[in-house]
Structure 1
Amino acid sequence: MQRRQRQATAAAGAAREARGGPAGAGPPSRRRLLRGAGAVAGLGVLGALGAGAVAAGRSTWSAVDPRTEIPLHAGTVAVGADGERVLVGGCAPDLALSPGTRLAAALPEHSPARDRAAEFVARTAAWRERLRARLTEGGGSATGVGSSPAGAEVSAAGTSSSAGDADLLVDLADTALADLWVLDDDLPAPVAGWTANWRYVWPRDAAFCAVALARIGAVDRAADVLAHLQDLQQADGWFEARYVPGTDRAPDRRAPQFDGTGLLLWASAEAVAAAGAGGGAVADRLAPLVTTSLAALHHATSGGTALPPASPDYWEVREGAATLWGAGATLAGLRAGAELTGSTGAEESAKVFAHLLEGTFGRGGWQRYRDGGGADSALALFDATGLHGMIDPARLGALRSELSRPAGGIAPGAAWKQDGISWTPSTSLLGLGLARAGEHRAAREILSWLAAHRTEQGSLPEKVLHDGRPAQVAPLAWTAANTLLALDALAA
């Protein structure tokens, strides 16, 4: 069954819908917009948001339907006794795991997967210890916009964002590391998830995963991921929306997407920087990706003087106009390209394009489209990718009330289906943006909320229902990567 889509006028910023996926592929695609409008009086518990945020949220919400139910396909993914990945918990069978791992307890002691897992733990040990030391000394607890008083509850589960929750955040780091490992191990690049319609390589997700790998001490693996995407890039610089792992083949007829071009260029610059003295070798290896992507961005924006082409973004629907996400990804790529190449022309294009965004999206209030569409979690992409100073911290912090959902997370945008569901990719992206913008207390609150809404097996799910239950897919590589990068920013 071909994917069916319904699109309202971009200027009005109406909600988009995306249904289905490849024929016989099982559950709906991972960024599906549920249909229909809810109708119920009660809004439930907002968790991280105070009474003022409740009032602000009500001014933009349509009625929330708390009856929206989505199953938890799996509580986690693990390497089974036969060495193959299996879904565990949720709707999948339970499986005894070795403590603190994504490995079946019955997996032989000297199996290749155990060896690879141990190597990953050793590689990331220094990062983890630095994180613990920094969190314990309270270095990440500076007050920021949208922050609650020290000791205030920030989730329905009652977790706190004060300096005393260092253990909780270190535990979150451990589980996010395990989530990223199990969706990346022994693959050409990380897959989004392991449930059927998620078992693909999305360039945008892979970009964030590569940056996370570089930051936590696995620079070589980050370079491998980026080199693989380099091999998949089309001659014009574009990428397919997603790829069957280990191939250059798209699994369906989704339109190519432009955001991966800028995001993978940004990821390349991050990997080069994280490599330190070895950055030159990483840059040489990724030279084709850098030059092709920078040329594509320069051409598509006419040297920074035009908005990027209309393209589907992380909402995974067709678009008739450039989105805030696409614009942010393009600017991140232009600036990264200028940094990597030292080209004055690239630097000038990035400056011109930044002014263009301020005069278009900025003038319109940084909404989903230059002339409307409402708030969008894509606003966090700017600070998340190092584009500091463009977005007022107070404006970024306001997303928590503008896009709030009953369980305490946020939705992708104001025009999203009002189903009461929190989306962890958007919520974790906001945490990352706040952390890299220096708004550490607000970031810690979001990270504490994520920690409190993991599955029973400890994985970060894609969605959280109105009452706080994890739903859909777990783990999700993009959420794990965002979480690790936000924690890394607190430890910087």
Structure 2
Amino acid sequence: MEGTSSLPARRSLLLGGGLLGAGALGAGALALREDPRTEAPLLSATVAIAADGRRHLVGGDSSIPASRLRPGTRLLASVPEDAAPARRADAFMATARPWLDTVPAAHAELAASALADLWVLGDDAPAPVAGWSRSWRYLWPRDGAFCAVALARAGLHDEALGILSHLQSLQREGSWFEARYDLATGRAPDDRPPQFDGTGLVLWAVAEVLEALPTPERRATAAAGLERLVTRSRDLLRSGTGHGEQLPPVSPDYWELRERSVTLALMATTLAGWQAAATVTGESGDAEAAEAFTALLREEFGPAGYQRYARRGGADSALALPTALGAADLVPTADLTRLGDLLRRPAGGIAPGARWKQDGISWTPSTSLLALGLARAGADDEAGSLLTWLAEHRTAAGSLSEKVLYDGRPAAVAPLAWTAANTILTIDALREG
């Protein structure tokens, strides 16, 4: 998850200050020394853009009250109707209107607000940042990939291709993506190590965005424009996994921790990359690598029930990733349903994993990811229930926050790009189903 500045310190926090031994789930032991009623501030209820194009935190702990927000928008009330930001917001939502008109009525308002969240985090920028609170004002390739796919599914094709083009400009030949990027400099803002999962996720996003484009001619033009991104990412998969026959290199995943073993999330995103490479390139070698890596994932992680690590670590919300990213036959739907029970927190959302700190907090990126996995598995009722939960636990301004406290209050960052993207993709999957 986003927004940390010290990885070793965060590992200690998340894993309960060293209470867990290797391979232990430890939920009961953690509960003895951790408060399941942890408090955390809501940094903002949303983000709004002023007439001059600047973003401002609104509500929560910010200095601007939510009363200064124009209802139903991510604009300050003082923005004139003909101001540039207002025109951009109107154009964005008008482009998405045909998609919005087809979503299930029960989720229409949530879909519109999630799109507004992505708009405000990416307006007049090459890609959406993760959030607008200080430590989140960066582009994570992981988030960018999901945002590109969500926007493409909603009919915002130019915006989706713009994100991928920007990621292409950031990718250096032979190098993994950085954990995150400062949009102003195009560089990593700190010394976090590069992360291999961006390679597979960006390839997945390319395949999904191309598929969403309306005509063969548009797809061909877009594919040609992204050829360097596809080639470099596919080459990294080849060198990193021995053409799909070896485990990928150890790397942090969405938990943003330094790891000593390959995680389920890294395996799932690498598989998605191989499957996407096979689709986009059409090369038989890429298809064979995708098949080989699928078998490797099953062989390494399947016997212990797809835990966070191959033989240990307990349940992980990354169990939803294979299905969410297109590998529908890898994880039984019943296992996804059971995951919600295993990781449930008091307010009704889930934690990222069994080894996560037992503080009573639900995390919306993991909850929305599970919703997406369930929707793409055809478990419409279960996915719809999670969407309803997300809708009911937004901020007063309608934005999706990063956390939900034990008693249902939204907390931390709002809006959060990855949660908004997952929400849009889940609604789209239900629409298609």
Q: Smaller-chain TM-score range? A: over 0.9
TM-fit CA distance, 1:59: 7.5
Provide, for residues 385-418 of structure 1, a one-character-per-residue CA deviation record: whole Å limited to 9, x for no partner. Answer: 1111000111111111111100000000000001
What residue in structure 1 maps to residue 245 of structure 2?
305
Is the Cα contact below 8 Å between 1:377 and 1:412 reproduced in 2? yes
Q: Aligned runs of 1:26-425 on 2, under 5 Å? A: 33=14, 36=17, 62-63=31-32, 65-92=35-62, 93-95=64-66, 96-131=68-103, 135-136=104-105, 166=106, 169-277=107-215, 278-425=218-365
CA distance in 1, matches of 2:379, 2:65: 39
In structure 2, relative to structure 1, the CA distance for the partners of 1:177 and 1:87 (3 Å cut) is: same
CA distance in 1, matches of 2:336, 2:296: 20
Is the Cα contact below 8 Å between 1:60 and 1:414 reproduced in 2? no
Is the Cα contact below 8 Å between 2:121 and 2:417 reproduced in 1? yes
Is the Cα contact below 8 Å between 1:462 and 1:474 reproduced in 2? yes
CA distance in 2, matches of 1:268, 1:2: 30
Is the Cα contact below 8 Å between 2:402 and 2:412 reproduced in 1? yes
2:230 aligned counterpart, secondary structure: helix
TM-fit CA distance, 1:188: 1.2
Q: Is 1:451 matched up with 2:423? A: no
Provide, for residues 18-67 of structure 1, a one-character-per-residue CA deviation record: whole Å limited to 9, x for no partner. Answer: 67xxxxxxxxxxxxx385599xxxxxxxxxxxxxxxxxx98797356233
TM-fit CA distance, 1:440: 0.5
TM-fit CA distance, 1:110: 1.3
In structure 2, relative to structure 1, the CA distance for the partners of 1:371 and 1:58 (3 Å cut) is: closer
CA distance in 2, matches of 1:443, 1:348: 32
CA distance in 2, matches of 1:248, 1:118: 29
Is the Cα contact below 8 Å between 1:227 and 1:286 reproduced in 2? yes
TM-fit CA distance, 1:3: 2.4
- In terms of mean alpha carbon deviation, does 88-97 or 374-383 score higher? 88-97
What residue in structure 1 maps to residue 6 of structure 2?
3
Aligned partner letter, 1:111 = A
What residue in structure 2 maps to residue 139 of structure 1?
none
Dislocated runs of 4+, deviation >3 Å: 33-38, 57-64
CA distance in 1, matches of 2:234, 2:52: 44
In structure 2, relative to structure 1, the CA distance for the partners of 1:334 and 1:37 (3 Å cut) is: closer
1:87 aligned counterpart, secondary structure: strand
TM-fit CA distance, 1:219: 1.0
CA distance in 1, matches of 2:136, 2:12: 15
CA distance in 1, matches of 2:28, 2:391: 29
Aligned partner letter, 2:65 = D
What residue in structure 2 maps to residue 17 of structure 1?
11
1:420 aligned counterpart, secondary structure: coil
Is the Cα contact below 8 Å between 1:400 and 1:410 reproduced in 2? yes
TM-fit CA distance, 1:100: 1.1
TM-fit CA distance, 1:276: 3.1
Aligned partner letter, 2:134 = A
CA distance in 1, matches of 2:305, 2:371: 21
1:62 aligned counterpart, secondary structure: helix
Provide, for residues 262-300 of structure 1, a one-character-per-residue CA deviation record: whole Å limited to 9, x for no partner. Answer: 000000001100013111111111110101101111111
Aligned partner letter, 2:208 = E
Provide, for residues 415-462 of structure 1, a one-character-per-residue CA deviation record: whole Å limited to 9, x for no partner. Answer: 000111000000000000100111100000000000000001110000
CA distance in 2, matches of 1:81, 1:70: 31
Q: Aligned runs of 1:454-465 on 2, under 5 Å? A: 454-465=394-405
**Identity across the alignment (%):** 56
TM-fit CA distance, 1:2: 7.1
2:8 aligned counterpart, secondary structure: strand
In structure 2, relative to structure 1, the CA distance for the partners of 1:486 and 1:4 (3 Å cut) is: closer
2:321 aligned counterpart, secondary structure: helix
Aligned partner letter, 1:356 = L
What residue in structure 2 maps to residue 50 of structure 1?
none
Aligned partner letter, 2:413 = V
TM-fit CA distance, 1:99: 2.3
1:223 aligned counterpart, secondary structure: helix
Aligned partner letter, 1:268 = V
In structure 2, relative to structure 1, the CA distance for the partners of 1:199 and 1:339 (3 Å cut) is: same
Provide, for residues 231-285 of structure 1, a one-character-per-residue CA deviation record: whole Å limited to 9, x for no partner. Answer: 1112114101000013221110000000000000000001100013111111111
Tell me the TM-score normalized by structure 2: 0.93
2:102 aligned counterpart, secondary structure: helix
Provide, for residues 287-337 of structure 1, a one-character-per-residue CA deviation record: whole Å limited to 9, x for no partner. Answer: 101011011111111011111110011100100111100000000000000
Give 5+ residue unaligned stretches, structure 1.
Answer: 7-15, 20-32, 39-56, 137-165
Provide, for residues 193-234 of structure 1, a one-character-per-residue CA deviation record: whole Å limited to 9, x for no partner. Answer: 000000000000000000001000011111110010011112
The number of residue pairs the alignment matches comes to 418
Aligned partner letter, 1:5 = P
Point out the structure with the larger helix share. 2
TM-fit CA distance, 1:364: 1.7
